[in-house]
């Protein structure tokens, strides 16, 4: 299949072409990279846009249950839903594979849903690019909503927040002490906190937890991209499918407001700029750390610096020269 054919099929909503294209953007091979770049350039003018919803939470909080129920609700509304995952491999060993279809059986059989498990790539920078490009492919393919799932560990949440239009945190019902363990930085990037498992015996705890989060969110500095009442804490039951349509309504309210106020487009523009700069940074860094002449030179010069044969800045200048860069 040529790149032009692949692009045409993606635009026509062909799922197999979409899956193949995502495999292409995941590949580390130089020729695949060139093809992926060409494909994305070909699709760029189509101008299709989906709503990108990030979802994070610790293993066991109910992410797959939520994505399945929420996804089914959206497809029942006539929307096409894609599910992608950002999975830092360090977190992989213990838990299940994110975006694994067996975790979302009903949704994976839905013809209006597309689920893509996370690739086994170790480097978060590479995962970020792959996910960003997979999002673009899903949008070109006509998906209305793109759910991007990650586990609540470290950097992956920031990556997902920088790819999403909306970022949701899924939390478990918890006591007050556990609440304080939630990192402030994570709270600051959340648009909605959804306290899951608000059913059965856990319901009263979930309601209290929701109130606690709502209180904590009110203490944060107001962000220009939020209308009155946001960020918001809500309780839901992914299992009993309660509160999901309300959550969706709130997401739409927030999105519509941001669109009207220009925040939506502005945010996407900032994200594009961020990823461009990040890619330059990562590519430069990769030159220093991947085996090759530059890395060898780093090692050799590092030894000279350590033994006082040269100064750190003189050695640094030399590396920059090797990279073909003039220093300021
Ligand atoms: P993930 O690791 O975050 O994807 O979590 P799962 O979706 O696999 O759910 C972990 C466990 O929590 C499973 O046993 C689910 O059945 C259960 N669970 C998920 N959502 C709910 C819910 O809304 N209520 C209750 N009571 N249990 C839930």
Cβ atoms of residues 231 and 212 within 8 Å: no
Residues with CB under 6 A from ligand 1: 57, 59-65, 196-197, 199-200, 237-239
Mean pLDDT, range 13-39, rounded to an integer:
92
Ligand 1 mean position to 60 CA, how many Å? 6
pLDDT(92) > 60: no
* Nearest alpha-carbon partner for 50 in 85, 13, 82: 82
CA distances from 312 to 93, 240, 318 (A): 39, 62, 10
The pLDDT score that the predictor gives to residue 90 is: 46
The pLDDT score that the predictor gives to residue 181 is: 63
pLDDT(123) > 90: no
Structural domains in the chain, CATH included, are: 1-45 (1.20.5.170), 47-261 (3.40.50.300), 276-322 (no CATH)
Give 326: exposed, middle or buried? Use CB within 10 Å, 0-12, 13-18, 19+. exposed
Give every CB contact of residue 300 below 8 A, 6+ residues apart in sequence: none
pLDDT-derived band at 118 (thresholds 50, 70, 90) equals: confident
pLDDT(121) > 60: no
Three-class secondary structure of residue 238 per DSSP: coil
**Which of 60, 97, 107, 117, when mutated, tests ligand 1's pocket best, judged by the most ligand atoms within 8 Å of its CB?**
60
Ligand 1 atom with minimal separation from the 236 CA: 23
- Global pTM reads 0.90
Question: Percentage of the chain with pLDDT > 90?
Answer: 65
Ligand 1 mean position to 311 CA, how many Å? 57
* Nearest alpha-carbon partner for 130 in 284, 279, 277, 286: 279
pLDDT(134) > 70: yes
Give every CB contact of residue 134 below 8 A, 6+ residues apart in sequence: 22, 25, 26, 84, 116
Ligand 1 mean position to 196 CA, how many Å? 8
Ligand 1 mean position to 168 CA, how many Å? 16
pLDDT-derived band at 180 (thresholds 50, 70, 90) equals: low
C-alpha angle with apex 35: 33 to 39, nearest 5 degrees? 115
Cβ atoms of residues 117 and 149 within 8 Å: no
Please tell me the least confidently modeled range out of 8-17, 121-130, 269-278, 297-306: 121-130
For the segment 264-319, what is each residue's pLDDT rounded down to a tens digit?
Answer: 999 999 999 999 998 888 888 888 888 888 999 999 999 999 999 999 999 999 99
The pLDDT score that the predictor gives to residue 91 is: 44
pLDDT(96) > 70: no
């Amino acid at each position: 299949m040529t790149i032009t054919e692949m692009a045409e099929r993606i635009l026509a909503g062909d799922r197999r072409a979409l899956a193949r294209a995502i495999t292409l953007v995941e590949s580390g091979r130089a020729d695949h990279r060139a093809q992926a770049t060409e494909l994305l350039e070909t699709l760029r003018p189509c101008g299709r846009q989906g709503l990108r919803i990030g979802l994070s939470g610790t293993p066991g909080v109910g992410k797959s249950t939520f994505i399945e129920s929420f996804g089914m609700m959206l497809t029942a509304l006539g929307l096409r839903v894609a599910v992608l995952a950002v999975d830092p491999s360090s977190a992989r060993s213990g838990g299940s594979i994110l975006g694994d279809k067996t975790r979302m059986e009903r949704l994976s059989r839905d013809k209006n849903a597309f689920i893509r498990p996370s690739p086994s790539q170790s480097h978060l920078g590479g995962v970020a690019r792959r996910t960003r490009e997979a999002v673009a492919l899903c949008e070109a393919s006509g998906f209305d909503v793109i759910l991007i799932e990650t586990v609540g560990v470290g950097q992956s949440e920031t990556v997902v927040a920088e790819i999403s239009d909306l970022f949701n945190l899924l939390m478990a019902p918890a006591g007050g002490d556990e609440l304080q363990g939630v990192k402030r930085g994570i709270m600051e990037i959340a648009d909605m906190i959804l306290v899951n498992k608000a059913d059965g015996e856990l319901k009263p705890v979930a309601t209290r937890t929701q109130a606690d989060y709502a209180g904590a969110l009110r203490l944060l500095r107001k962000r220009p991209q939020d209308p009155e009442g946001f960020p918001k804490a809500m309780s839901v039951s992914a299992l009993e499918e309660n509160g999901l349509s309300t959550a969706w309504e709130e997401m739409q309210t927030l999105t519509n407001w941001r669109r009207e106020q220009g925040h939506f487009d502005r945010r996407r523009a900032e994200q594009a700029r961020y990823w461009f700069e990040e890619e330059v940074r990562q590519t430069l860094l990769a030159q220093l750390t991947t085996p090759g002449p530059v890395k060898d030179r780093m090692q050799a010069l590092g030894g000279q610096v350590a033994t006082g044969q040269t100064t750190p800045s003189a050695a640094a200048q030399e590396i920059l020269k090797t990279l073909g860069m003039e220093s300021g």
